[in-house]
Amino acid sequence: MKNFIILALSFIVIGLSIYVSVLILGKGEAGGSEKFFLSEWALYPDNHLALAKEDVEKRAYNLGAYEIEKSVNMMRSIESVTDEEGVALVEEAIKRLTSIEEEIKLRDIDIPKLEEASIQAMNTLALVHLKLSDELAREGDNKKAMKSVRTAIKHLQNAFDMASLGSQRVGEALIINELQVLLDSLESNGHLEGKDYTISVNDLVKLINSNK
């Protein structure tokens, strides 16, 4: 009986989370999506992937699959705030996560595979934030641009943390350092040249492609 109550409460929390997510995302409209990516909710897809890993480790497969689904639903809003390259990479990350979700439902999943798909998704989210920051900086909105860079760094840190102990994530560590330099430049100079973003964007795209 106790387990049933816990399970029921879990599904209620999941349902409320999805409902609130839809409200914040603005039902997929560009304005709502940008608000989402510049709020504390921007890291929620990462959080859901981390919880999915924990659930699978505990063999709570149904809950793990739901966490993947919530992350994917949030990621779909990205496509209205990024460019063609970003959309393509987001679609690839979603496709991989959806495949992982099905494997979890079948209870035929190994942790490293889940980790790699989650890392790809987090790196892709970092890329979207970096591209959005570039756009905001060009528009002169340095405050939002810096916030978006900070969020990109957090996504990369989450990807770094997602990897199993002993796994070397040198790529994420190097790009985190690059973005910290970007952030310092924004804070001190109040502006950035496009080439500064281009270097980090290209490095991040290479890292995402190497994880496929």
pLDDT less than 50: residues of the chain: 2-31, 166
pTM: 0.80
CA–CA distance, 168 with 166 (Å, rounded to integer): 6
pLDDT at 19: 40
Closest CA to 36 of 3, 63, 73: 73
CA–CA distance, 104 with 192 (Å, rounded to integer): 44
Domain boundaries, position 160: 25-210
Residue 54 lies in a domain: yes
pLDDT at 143: 85
pLDDT at 5: 47
pLDDT at 6: 46
Distance (Å) of CA 86 to CA 14, 18, 23, 138, 186: 28, 24, 24, 18, 23
Residue 189 lies in a domain: yes
pLDDT at 44: 94
Residue 11 lies in a domain: no
Residue 19 lies in a domain: no
Over the stretch 22-72, which tens digit does the pLDDT of each residue have? Answer: 434 444 444 455 666 667 788 999 999 999 999 999 999 999 999 999 999
CA–CA distance, 99 with 192 (Å, rounded to integer): 39
pLDDT at 167: 59
Question: How many domains are contained in the chain?
Answer: 1
Residue 9 lies in a domain: no
First to last CA, the chain: 43
Residue 191 lies in a domain: yes
Closest CA to 112 of 46, 64, 165, 174: 165
Residue 10 lies in a domain: no
CA–CA distance, 63 with 76 (Å, rounded to integer): 20
Helix spans in the chain (H): 2-24, 30-37, 44-57, 61-75, 84-105, 111-138, 142-162, 170-189, 194-210
Residue 157 lies in a domain: yes
